Amino acid sequence: MIVAESIGFSATHTISSILRDLPGYRVTHGSQNFETAGPMGTLAQSPEAFAASMAAVGQQGARPVALHTNFDPRRMFPACRGQGIRYSLLLRRPEAQVESCYAWAVNKTLSGDDGAFLSALKTALPVLPKIGIRASLPNLLYAYAVNHVCLFNLVALDTGAPVLKMEELLADEAQFRAAFDVPEDAELAHFSGEARHLASHRSKDGLEALADPEREAIRAQYPLSAGGPAVTMVQLGARLGYAA
């Protein structure tokens, strides 16, 4: 029983697709209800109920795996531990994970969805002028992406949860098998000549409509805090072992 937690933007579509091909695996992706596997925002369970549902499926002989639940790690990690579920944080190089989130936020905003934009106004607008960065639309959305991705990862890291790096999982069959308890006799087509990469957030149409954000400045200066001393995205990347 495994939860590979992620805020998203870390090839969770690809990984869940690979796992769904395996016999006996029951996989949810982007859901907060393990019983219905419905999308987020529909009939959500609590973290404790979600973990209990996974355990029930495991007791029936299946291999339950959940990716990208978006539950608060401070609740989900102990809920999983109480049910004997292995919980890990799934992420990727911060620059790439944030860039994917930024592309998603831009496309959402330009298509008329106000969710990311309103969140950017709440989180980034009060901060950017204080650190000497213009509150332009691309800067607001990029700062939102930095905050959205990195703050979740920081909270999860502070729980002591182990880390899975997307780049390593999709490049190394042994690591993938170990991370998801894949039996040795189960073929993984991704590693045997049919590599799978499902892009979900990187449409360039919206990005080309905006000026480039001040990426380097925001990465180096935007403060992130999960209750302790603030860090920047650059510092978080170093903590995760990614070279600048």
Domain boundaries, the chain: 2-92+160-191, 94-152+201-239
For residue 216, the SS3 value is helix
Does residue 87 have a pLDDT over 90?
A: yes
Query: Average of pLDDT values for 90-95?
Result: 96
Are the C-beta atoms of 234 and 221 separated by less than 8 Å?
Answer: no
What does CATH list as the number for 2-92+160-191?
3.40.50
Taking the whole predicted model, whether its pTM rises above 0.75 is answered as: yes
pLDDT digits (tens, 9 = 90+) for 165-209: 999 999 999 999 999 999 999 999 899 877 766 655 555 666 788
Rounded to whole angstroms, how far apart are CA atoms 97 and 15?
15
pLDDT digits (tens, 9 = 90+) for 22-79: 999 999 999 999 999 999 988 999 999 999 999 999 999 999 999 999 999 999 999 9
pLDDT digits (tens, 9 = 90+) for 109-153: 999 999 999 999 999 999 999 999 999 999 999 999 999 999 999
What tokens were used for 71?
A: 């539950």
What local confidence, expressed as pLDDT, does residue 122 receive? 97
Query: Average of pLDDT values for 197-224?
Result: 82
* 46 Cβ neighbours under 8 A, 6+ residues apart: none
Are the C-beta atoms of 236 and 156 separated by less than 8 Å?
Answer: no
Are the C-beta atoms of 55 and 83 separated by less than 8 Å?
Answer: yes
List C-alpha distances in Å: 216 to 112, 207, 223, 232.
28, 17, 13, 11
